Copies of this chain bind each other. A is one copy, B any other.
Amino acid sequence: MSAVSVPPPKRLQKPLVVPHRHMFGPGPSNVPPRILEAGANPVIGHMHPEIFEIMNDIKSGIQYLFQTQNNMTLAVSGTGHTAMECAIFNTVEPGDSVLTAVNGIWGERAAEMAERIGARVNSIVTPPGGYFTNAEIEQALLKYRPALFFLAHGESSTGVLHPLDGIGQLCHKIYSYFICVTLSDSVMSVLTGIDILYTGSQKVLNAPPGTAPISFSERACQKIFNRKSKPVSFFLDLSWLANYWGCDGKASRTYHHTGPVTAFYSLRESLAVLVEEGLENSWDRHQKVAEYFHRGLESMGLKLFVKDIKARLPTVTTIVAPRGYNWKDITSYIMKTHNLEISGGLGPSVGLVLRVGLMGRNSSKHSADMVLAALKDALQHCHKSKV
C-alpha cells in the first residue's frame, strides 16, 4: 500500500454552501422544491424495470410537451448541447450539405458542430433580433440543397421566437431534414413539419440541467437508420439510444451507458408538474406574464430588442441595453442588491441587450414585478455617463 503523495484538499473540509437566488436569466431557472426532492430519491439501477417505467413516463411527457406522436422520443443523458450533437451526429454524414440559420448563437454553434464532422456547411445570417422570411429560407434551401436545415425556434441569445409555419414543408419539398431547438413550451401544432426537436431540462421544464428532451420524426429515423457510415459518437448513436429508451420495438434492452437515474427522477417530476397545470394553461400563463412584463418595461422607458411583437419569445425577454450605462454594472448591481440574476447578451448579442427569463414557476406577475423593481433601482443607482 503506497502512501498518498497528494494531500487531502482543505477546501473540501468545509461544508457545501449554496445560496438561494432568484434565477431570472435565460436558464437555468429556479427549480421547485418538489422537483429537487424527486431528484434526491434513492439511486436504483439504470436497467431496473422501475427505471424503464420512469423512462416510459418521461417519453410520454415529452410527447405531450412537444405535442408529437413521434415514437422516437427520449431524453439524452446530457445537456442541451449534448442533444444538439445527438441531432447533428445522427443525421449528418461527412460531405453532406448542411444549412444553418444564424440569428444568434445557436445557428453558429450548429454550424460549428456540423463542420467538425465533415459536413459542407452554409449559413444564412441576419443580425441579432431578426429572423428569416419563408422566401429567404426557400431561396437558401434551393441554393444549397442541404441534407439538414437547422433553425432555432427559441433563440435565447436574442429573444426571438422564430415563425415556423410552412418551413417544414419547404424543407421536405427539397428532401431536406429540419432540425430545431426550442427553449419554450410554446410549441404548437404548426410544428408538424419539424423532423428533430430538442430542448434542455433547465428551461421551462424547471428541472436541473443535465438531461435534454429530444424527438425524431419517422422521416428523420428513415434517414438516420439508412446512413452509410456510423455516427461519430457511440454514446449518442440513436440506434443504441432507441434501444435503451424502448423505442426500437425490441423485447429486451442492451446495456449502452449508465443513465443519470436521479436526473431522470427530476425530469419526470417536472413533466408531471406540466401535466398538472396543462399545456394550454402553461402557454397562456407564459404569454400573459410576458405581455405584462413587456408593458412594464416599456412604461419605464426601456425598449424591447425584438421589434416584431409576434416574434418575441414569451420565456426570454431581450431589452435594448440602456443607453449611457455599462450593462455589466446593471446585472452586477441587481445580483448584489436584489440577489437576482438577469444576464447580458450571449454570442452575437453581447453588449446589445439585457436578458430576462421568466420560465416555468418563475413565469408570474410577482416575478415580473421583482425584475421591474430591480431594474428601476439599478437605473437610478448605476453610473450613467452623460452621452
Name A residues whose Cβ lies closer than 8 Å to a Cβ of B. Answer: 1-9, 11-13, 15-21, 23, 25, 27-31, 36-46, 48, 50, 54, 56-57, 60-61, 63-64, 67-69, 77-82, 84-85, 109, 112-113, 115-117, 188-190, 200, 202, 208-210, 230-235, 255-263, 265-266, 268-269, 271-272, 275-276, 278-280, 283-284, 287, 341, 346
Given A11-B60, A28-B43, A210-B262, A16:B4 Cβ within 8 A: no
Chain B's nearest CB lies how many Å from the CB of A367?
Answer: 15
CA distance A28 to B80 in the complex (A): 24
Given A82-B235, A257-B79, A63:B208 Cβ within 8 A: no
Q: Contact check: which of B41, B56, B257 meets A16 at CB < 8 Å?
A: B41
CA distance A50 to B6 in the complex (A): 25
Chain B's nearest CB lies how many Å from the CB of A129?
Answer: 19
Chain B's nearest CB lies how many Å from the CB of A334?
Answer: 13
Copies of this polypeptide in the complex:
2
The answer to whether B258 touches A209 (Cβ under 8 A) is yes
Please name the residue on chain B nearest to A29 by beta carbon: B43
Given A67-B5, A257-B81, A262-B36, A60:B28 Cβ within 8 A: no
Given A12-B271, A77-B79, A28:B208 Cβ within 8 A: no
The answer to whether A275 touches B9 (Cβ under 8 A) is yes
Chain B's nearest CB lies how many Å from the CB of A171?
Answer: 21
The answer to whether A31 touches B43 (Cβ under 8 A) is yes
User: What B residues does A263 contact at CB under 8 A?
Assistant: 208, 210, 260, 263
The answer to whether A234 touches B36 (Cβ under 8 A) is no
User: What B residues does A46 contact at CB under 8 A?
Assistant: 28, 209
The answer to whether A280 touches B3 (Cβ under 8 A) is yes
Given A50-B19, A263-B208, A263-B210, A275:B8 Cβ within 8 A: yes
The answer to whether A232 touches B117 (Cβ under 8 A) is yes
The answer to whether A63 touches B188 (Cβ under 8 A) is no
CA distance A57 to B10 in the complex (A): 9
Given A4-B67, A6-B69, A280-B4, A116:B233 Cβ within 8 A: yes
User: What B residues does A276 contact at CB under 8 A?
Assistant: 13
User: What B residues does A271 contact at CB under 8 A?
Assistant: 12
The answer to whether A44 touches B18 (Cβ under 8 A) is yes
CA distance A190 to B4 in the complex (A): 11
Listed A/B pairs (14) with beta-carbon separation below 8 Å? A4-B279, A9-B57, A11-B60, A16-B41, A18-B265, A19-B44, A28-B43, A30-B42, A45-B341, A81-B257, A202-B258, A209-B260, A210-B210, A255-B346
